Amino acid sequence: MNVLHICANPKPTEESVSKQLAAAFFGKLIELRPDVELVNTDLYDEKPPFYSYELYKRAWYPIFDESYEPSKAEEMAQNYAAKQAEAFNAADVVVLTMPMWNFSVPAIMKAWMDQILCPNLTFTISPEEGAKALHKVKSIVLLVASGGVYKEDDDRDALTRQVRHAFGFIGIDNIEIVWADGQDSFFNMDCDARKEMALEAAAETAEDIAELELTAATE
Ligand SMILES: Cc1cc2nc3c(=O)[nH]c(=O)nc-3n(C[C@H](O)[C@H](O)[C@H](O)COP(=O)(O)O)c2cc1C
């Protein structure tokens, strides 16, 4: 099983609840599936560029204009996206680790999504067929921590919705979410209990992923 881990958190693990969720998830997954091929990408070490006009042209002009030939600059503008998309397409499972910042994904994670969600890299697109996957990702696991407490379908939550819709667009509907909410200790006296519950949920999600892949492999 190939697993790609994308982490968007600049803090060390001891200060980051979402990174602790990742440690619990991968600890259990590797215990159950020692054969797992894990690729770790720390976005603060491999920073994505912001979307540029050159990348826009390289990505989208071929869809509308068969005669388009990219310039050298446009070709190079796709280097980061192409490398990251290759890792994405090779994965069976993608794990996204991040804090909630300003009710959404950290900007560095959004920049990575803008890079890889690119036509002819992770999907094809046409008026006849819409978007079709070029990847084989079966599940996305989202490991997130927030200061506030969020109920299901909370209007303030732009994070889980964005992840669901962005990856749903390229055919990934199985999104497993482990959310340590209420981590702001000023307002939530039960923040430690909430974290413990989320750590357990992370390990249980790893069990589901290990089982899901085992079932798929024997089909
Ligand atoms: C820049 C910044 C913005 C934040 N925005 C929110 C927010 O919109 N909603 C929320 O519930 N918590 C917010 N928080 C709190 C974090 O989500 C919370 O501390 C969480 O535990 C961070 O995850 P981490 O422990 O993995 O770093 C914010 C924190 C920072 C530093």
- Percent of all residues in the chain with a pLDDT value above 90, rounded to a whole number: 92
pTM score above 0.85: yes
Our mutation pick for probing the ligand 1 site, out of 100, 161, 183, counting the most ligand atoms within 8 A of Cβ, is: 100
pLDDT reported for residue 216? 54
Question: Could you report the per-residue pLDDT of 38-77, keeping only the tens digit for each?
Answer: 999 999 999 999 999 999 999 999 999 999 999 999 999 9
Our mutation pick for probing the ligand 1 site, out of 18, 146, 160, counting the most ligand atoms within 8 A of Cβ, is: 146
Token pair for 10: 């600049």
Of 76, 77, 71, nearest in space to 53 by CA: 77
Residues 171-189 have a mean pLDDT of 95
Residues 194-214 have a mean pLDDT of 92
CA–centroid distance, 101 to ligand 1, in Å, is: 5
CA–centroid distance, 8 to ligand 1, in Å, is: 12
pLDDT reported for residue 219? 47
* CA-derived radius of gyration, the chain: 18
- Judged against a pLDDT cut of 50, whether residue 194 lies above it is answered with yes
Domains of the chain and CATH, by start: 2-218 (3.40.50.360)
Enumerate residues lining ligand 1, CB below 6 A.
9, 11, 16-19, 99-103, 145-148, 183
Instruction: Give the neighbor-by-neighbor strand order of the sheet with 37-42.
Output: 37-42, 2-7, 93-99, 139-145, 175-180
